[in-house]
Amino acid sequence: MRNADGSVTLPLSIRYGRFPAGGGNLTSLRDLRVRYALASGDSWSLGEIGLEPARDRGVLRLRVGAEQRLLLRVNATSREKGRTVHHHALTWYQRAGRSGNGSPVSAPPGDPLHNELELSIAPRFHYWRQVGESLGIGISNRLSPASPTLVTILDEHLPVQRILVDPRQTTTWTPPDDHDLNSREERSGKETLLVAESDGSSTIFRTTTTLLLHRNRTGHHRLVPGLLTLGCSCGLTVLAVTVKRRKTA
């Protein structure tokens, strides 16, 4: 919702479960926290949103100024097969254009929320991220800082993808063209999750970054009649956060 002062009130969706079916029932999670950083130029301000899982069902709202960028983080813990899982979910929002083309591994200045396992992308802020457009993926793994980490990519329409990300450099990944998405109306989009996991003897760290990918602006010129896409199947139970900034079809 756009406000009179030029700011927008964003609906935020927090979901837990198997992708893409996971819903807003967050009552099985512990230590749930929703924190954010708002940037104006190079200055960051930090805040936290109170959440009652049984009442809010994972739907919140946050006001973002006309010139501000948003970094949104959700942390929680759960139990899986006798081990503690530390969940971290991350997403970004920017009203227009793109920014943050530097190293995707670095956290925003003054951000104390950097996690043991952190995924990031470059450009960090991008209003119209689309299929067929390359981006950089970085990993920061404090538990195993020198080893490559396997990143699982979950897509609403396409089969599961997996790539190795080296912590010493940026890995380039191009979201595959999606003929189903490109055949829809111009403003259509879909969610894609990047998931990384670091497995210890008694603790698992699992981090998720949500991308809102739009149809390729020239994709409708390359449609292949009769092409079918496959739904993904993955055994991971993930925590995800999304900024529902536009209607998707």
What per-residue string of b and e applies to 1-24 under the rule 16 or more CB within 10 Å gives b? eeeeeebbebebbbbbbebbebee
| Domain span including residue 168 | 8-243
Does 212 fall in a domain?
Answer: yes
Does 103 fall in a domain?
Answer: yes
Task: Give the tens place of pLDDT for each residue, 166-187.
Answer: 988 889 999 988 888 878 877 7
Q: In this structure, are strands 149-155 and 135-141 parallel, antiparallel, or unpaired?
A: unpaired
pLDDT-based confidence at 85, cuts 50/70/90?
very high
14 with 26: CB under 8 angstroms?
yes
Does 249 fall in a domain?
Answer: no
DSSP3 helix / strand / coil % (the chain, rounded to 5):
5, 50, 45
Task: Give the tens place of pLDDT for each residue, 107-146.
Answer: 444 444 567 888 888 887 777 888 888 999 999 888 778 8
Does 114 fall in a domain?
Answer: yes
Q: Which backbone phi and psi does 106 adopt, to 5 degrees?
A: -70, 140
DSSP-derived 3-state class of residue 54: helix
Task: Give the tens place of pLDDT for each residue, 192-241.
Answer: 999 999 887 788 999 999 888 888 776 444 433 322 323 334 456 788 87
Q: How far apart are CA 179 and CA 24, in angstroms?
A: 29
Does 248 fall in a domain?
Answer: no
235 with 21: CB under 8 angstroms?
no
Domains in the chain, number: 1
Sorted by sequence, the CB contacts under 8 Å of residue 132 that are 6+ apart come out as 174, 175, 176, 177, 216, 219
Predicted pLDDT of residue 120: 84
Does 86 fall in a domain?
Answer: yes
Other beta carbons within 10 Å of 123: 17
Can you say how many angstroms the Cα of residue 148 is from the centroid of all Cα atoms in its chain? 20
Edge-first strand listing for the sheet containing 8-18: 59-64, 8-18, 237-243
Instruction: Name 152's bridge partners.
Output: 162, 195
Top-confidence residue, 101 or 194: 194
Q: How far apart are CA 11 and CA 46, in angstroms?
A: 18
pTM of the model: 0.81
Q: How far apart are CA 78 and CA 30, in angstroms?
A: 6
Q: How far apart are CA 213 and CA 196, in angstroms?
A: 19
Does 148 fall in a domain?
Answer: yes
Q: How far apart are CA 192 and CA 185, in angstroms?
A: 19
Does 196 fall in a domain?
Answer: yes
Predicted pLDDT of residue 101: 53
